[in-house]
Structure 1
Amino acid sequence: MQYDEKRLTRIVATDCGSTTTKAILIEWIDGEFRQTIRGEAPTTVEAPLNDVTKGVINATQELEELARLKYHNPNIKFMENGEFVIPRKGDVGVDAYVSTSSAGGGLQMMVTGVVASMTGESAERAALGAGAIVMDLIASNDKRMNHEKIERIRELRPDMILMAGGEDGGTVKHVVEMAELVASADPKPRLGSGYKLPVIYAGNKDAREEIVKTLGEKVDLIITDNIRPKLEIENLLPAREKIHNLFMEHVMKQAPGYNKLMEWTVGPEHEQVPIMPTPAAVGNIMQAIAKEENIEVVGVDIGGATTDIFSVFTKDFIFNRTVSANLGLSYSISNVLASAGLENIMRWVPFDIDESELRNMIKNKMIRPTTIPSLLEELVLEQAIAKEALRLAFEQHKSFASSLKGMQKQRDISEAFSQSVSGETIVNMMTLDLLVGSGGVLSHAPRRNQTVMMLIDAFLPEGITRLSVDSIFMMPHLGVLSEISTKAATEVFRKDCMIYLGTCVAPVGKGKIGKPALYAKLELPDGSVFEEDIPFGEMRLIPCEIGQVAKATLKTHSGLILDADRKKELTVDLHGGKVGIVLDTRGRKPFVLPADKNERISALKKWMKALNAYPEHILS
């Protein structure tokens, strides 16, 4: 249900992350919605407090105190007797409270299918679209022995299982075999011992009777429409709706304090506003940006436990989401080291460091997830690890997006097959218009220039790409807010959430270090002109403020190209930002760092100086 500004003049929104609970206040001021105050506190879903609402109360109390200071009004009170004050009474209370959550690791699922690359992959897309982390995909043809599959189900203890397989009217044998595996495993839920594990069956409708016989007594079985009713049709929406409902009814109620939190979320008419998984909320906003501005977008949310990548590509606004469940910067930071390798992390560090020192820093971050770097060297290391986490997550996203054609209710699979055969991803960096970063390491970097460097090094944008960052990691709040007021969510998004960092110009192709790569002439709004024939292997930063535009003439050398039409010469408007316009002639496809350690460190320092990313003394 949507409400207008007459019913919504003050809204509190929280996002309960795996490490931190973030609260924001949104108010109707001078004819528009604006985000005015923010507060945060450690998330309290784990021992010793075991109650997520404690963190929400702490973050909201900070909002209250700051609001009283801002408005010189000691009567402002958002919570009273452990509940949000609704409706407003004069200057007291709020009109609505909404929340998202990924605390406790978010929604963790397993999916099963008959053929991994078909019904299994469809089940995985349905789960990802509902905001879940897919812990494993088990299929009849995945080459594991049955006892290994059973052991895997027992070991992972997911929040729920989604079972798919078989087209309607087809054979039931393989689907029933998968159900027998689940029954043999007798899986127990991760949270809560007093209820059965929810299992959604979205496979061949002819097998339903056998599925009920096999699983009915052992699990909480929910039956819904077949995800793949015919080989050429994919029908994800019914399964996604069941996942979301079960997440609310079962999983969240079992997590410490969530049943209380669910009672708190409320709209202007005292109706409950469902808590959304954080990734689903971010996905809402990403799709809204793309459709409203008619652009192609890639967004990333890097957290403590997971890294989510969202993309919207092609004229049909095809939306994809992937979750890298083992790539994060606190709980999962050791997994980043294991996945990327020490060498790949150290290639971004412009100084020597002992391996044991790096490992100690990583382990300390894992066991003390709320700490932040206290030394500049630690900051550089953490941002190097972030680059690798982002790079790996994006590689996973591109490979997953290669054979899927979006999250529509019905989808023509023949298109997906044509892509799988060619092996091409629909993620095209040359046509990408906007790259959006969010998550603590990107949103809270001490210098926005560091955020620009992390985004460019990790994603390697091609051609001309605008860069932006979620100012205070507000996208989840706005995603769930859009459920009751799209107007409030979009206004706050434009005015307060997005900080445009600038534009990256990166010619694609190979070149020789030191040889001319890009002639650039930029006429800047202040009347000055930047003009240079930039050698290959360099970076330049040209200051140009948010809202300003530089008239640019660009010409490449040595076969380098500037856009999807393979043009080598462009006259184009380049948008400024908080950091400015970056000209990156380090090459793409491939992008190669110097193999020699001393040369690499020298190059890193040169690029960091060019972008003004760190204080001078660390780069000397």
Structure 2
Amino acid sequence: MKQADLLIAEIGSTTTVVSAFHQLNTDPVLLGQGQFRTTVSEGDVNIGLAGAIRDLEEQLGEALRYDRLMASSSAAGGLRMTVHGLVYDMTVRAAREAALGAGANLKFVTAGRLRRSDLAKIREIGPNIILLAGGVDYGERETALYNAELIRSLNLAVPVIYAGNVENQEEIRLIFEGSPNRLYVVDNVYPRIDELNIEPTRKVIQAVFEEHITHAGGMEHIRDLVDGHIIPTPGAVMEASILLKEELGNLVCADIGGATTDIHSCTADSDEFAGILLEPEPEHKRTVEGDLGMYVNRMTVLDLVTDRELDSRLGLDRAEAVRRSEALPPIPDTAQDLALVSLLAETALVTALRRHAGVLKEYFGPSGRKLAALGKDLTPVKHFIGTGGALTRLPDGEAIIRRALARESRLELLPRPDINIWIDRDYIMASLGVMSLQYPEAARKLARKSLSIPEGTP
């Protein structure tokens, strides 16, 4: 019988993957991986979990005994959240950044006082968590209190996180007293003008998700098998990125999947542009592009590829490219299909990076033309990590990233083309993010192995 210290399950919307790890306190190793279809729709996610463990045992050739099981999940709709703040470019944006960084699937965002149509939308969405913000500390109070009263009136048994004006905290507690909402009060996400404070809220969102995930349809029995942490899968990738940032320095992690492309950046602003940034940006930022996927949204990505690229790279005209893209299997295996998917992955990555990164803006002031920076500054990034099915399973994952970074970007604050590129060969970034919550040193060592990072780097 094979012994493992820890199993970590990544419970996706369609597939559940289980990875086995051993020797966590000495020289940690990945023993193997198994997979099975996710069975949330069948009423019990444990069916898929058990199937993935059986598949793992078949890969290992013997029965498996393990001490603990932890998990990340994007099943059952992932972490559905709504966010409600005061001013869109201030408290709303800060709350939104905290939610995305935690791995949320943002379904609805509002600024100012909630309207009846907003309340109907919240009820229709049925969020897992509602995040309420508004007002700098000791600033405007009334909007957050007004919104809290309306959210309370919905009578939804949904956790509410309040991350607004500290002066409202006691009154917020009184509003939700006796309600079906479990209330969590955390530090203001926007305590002062031009200051973001999203990390406390990000951590609380993940903790609330873990506490309440067992109420989602099909997930009610997950604690029968999983005895450790359960966090949103995108949030797990962010945790792994933060861990590696401490190890390597400024980095970007790109996760290109079948339905979305996520970009995680962990970097401070550069000295070159910090003085001309118009708005603050979080050190740890995630964006998710729901229209950029290698399978579900491949036709949308194809629309972004130019006719010239199709001809020069693949020798195809538009009609033939459309035909081949429509016929693409979930896992391409021919040289023609691999070349097409590589071009789609490169296009998705370029597009997602440009949406994530900031830009330089030229304007005219009293003393002539000036330059300002708006958005996230990625120019200090020294390391680029590729994960997700496309970048880890295509044979030219590193080349895809190199080509994407080499595209012209005169006014965009993108990473330099000559940075270090690492591929998550074992496809375990999400698992390592979960592991890092309890076994950070083992997660660091396993990350270096999966990414093939030599000792002493940087």
Q: Same fold (TM over 0.5)?
A: yes
Q: Which residue of 1 aligns with 2:135?
A: 166
**Cα distance change of structure 1 residues 439 and 422 upon mapping to structure 2, 3 Å threshold:** closer
Aligned partner letter, 2:430: P
Aligned with 1:281 (options 236, 245, 252): 236
1:454 aligns with 2:418: no
Per-residue Cα deviation, 1:539-566 (whole angstroms, up to 9, x for no partner): xxxxxxx99xxxxxxxxxxxxxxxxxxx
Shift, 1:162, TM fit: 0.5
Q: Which residue of 1 aligns with 2:429?
A: 475
**Cα distance change of structure 1 residues 424 and 109 upon mapping to structure 2, 3 Å threshold:** closer
- The CA distance in 2 between the partners of 1:440 and 1:29, in whole Å, is 26
Q: Which residue of 2 aligns with 1:328?
A: 293
- The CA distance in 2 between the partners of 1:139 and 1:66, in whole Å, is 51
Aligned partner letter, 1:351: G
Shift, 1:59, TM fit: 1.7
Per-residue Cα deviation, 1:23-47 (whole angstroms, up to 9, x for no partner): 222233996221132222232223x
Mind listing any 5+ residue stretches in structure 1 that lack a counterpart?
A: 1-7, 69-75, 79-92, 188-194, 267-272, 403-419, 501-545, 548-573, 576-620
Q: Count the aligned residue pairs.
A: 426
CA contact (8 A) 1:345 1:385 kept: no
Overall identity of the aligned pairs, in %: 29
Per the normalisation by structure 2, the TM-score is 0.79
CA contact (8 A) 1:14 1:21 kept: yes
Aligned with 1:433 (options 382, 401, 406): 382
Per-residue Cα deviation, 1:158-187 (whole angstroms, up to 9, x for no partner): 322201001333332322343466468x49
Per the normalisation by structure 1, the TM-score is 0.60
Shift, 1:131, TM fit: 2.1
1:498 aligns with 2:447: no
Shift, 1:282, TM fit: 1.8
CA contact (8 A) 2:386 2:424 kept: yes
1:392 counterpart SS class: helix
Aligned partner letter, 2:28: F
Aligned with 2:101 (options 104, 129, 146): 129
Q: Which residue of 2 aligns with 1:395?
A: 354
1:64 aligns with 2:77: no
1:305 counterpart SS class: coil
Q: Which residue of 1 aligns with 2:393?
A: 444
- The CA distance in 1 between the partners of 2:372 and 2:177, in whole Å, is 40
- The CA distance in 1 between the partners of 2:119 and 2:311, in whole Å, is 41
1:112 counterpart SS class: strand
Shift, 1:398, TM fit: 1.1
Aligned with 2:190 (options 204, 228, 235): 228
Q: Which residue of 2 aligns with 1:255?
A: 216
**Cα distance change of structure 1 residues 139 and 371 upon mapping to structure 2, 3 Å threshold:** same
- The CA distance in 1 between the partners of 2:163 and 2:182, in whole Å, is 11
Structure with larger Rg:
1
Q: Which residue of 2 aligns with 1:384?
A: 343
Per-residue Cα deviation, 1:277-310 (whole angstroms, up to 9, x for no partner): 22222222222223223x3211111223332212
Q: Which residue of 2 aligns with 1:587?
A: none
Shift, 1:134, TM fit: 2.5
CA contact (8 A) 1:197 1:219 kept: yes
1:95 counterpart SS class: strand
Point out which structure has higher relative CO (alpha carbons under 8 A, 6+ apart): 2
CA contact (8 A) 2:311 2:317 kept: no
1:319 aligns with 2:305: no
Aligned partner letter, 1:60: I
Aligned partner letter, 2:190: R
1:19 aligns with 2:5: no
Per-residue Cα deviation, 1:592-615 (whole angstroms, up to 9, x for no partner): xxxxxxxxxxxxxxxxxxxxxxxx
Q: Which residue of 2 aligns with 1:358?
A: 322
**Cα distance change of structure 1 residues 315 and 438 upon mapping to structure 2, 3 Å threshold:** same
Shift, 1:247, TM fit: 0.9
**Cα distance change of structure 1 residues 347 and 302 upon mapping to structure 2, 3 Å threshold:** farther
Aligned partner letter, 1:281: A
Q: Equivalent residues in 2 for 1:413-428 (5 A)?
A: 422-423=373-374, 425-428=376-379
CA contact (8 A) 2:40 2:217 kept: yes
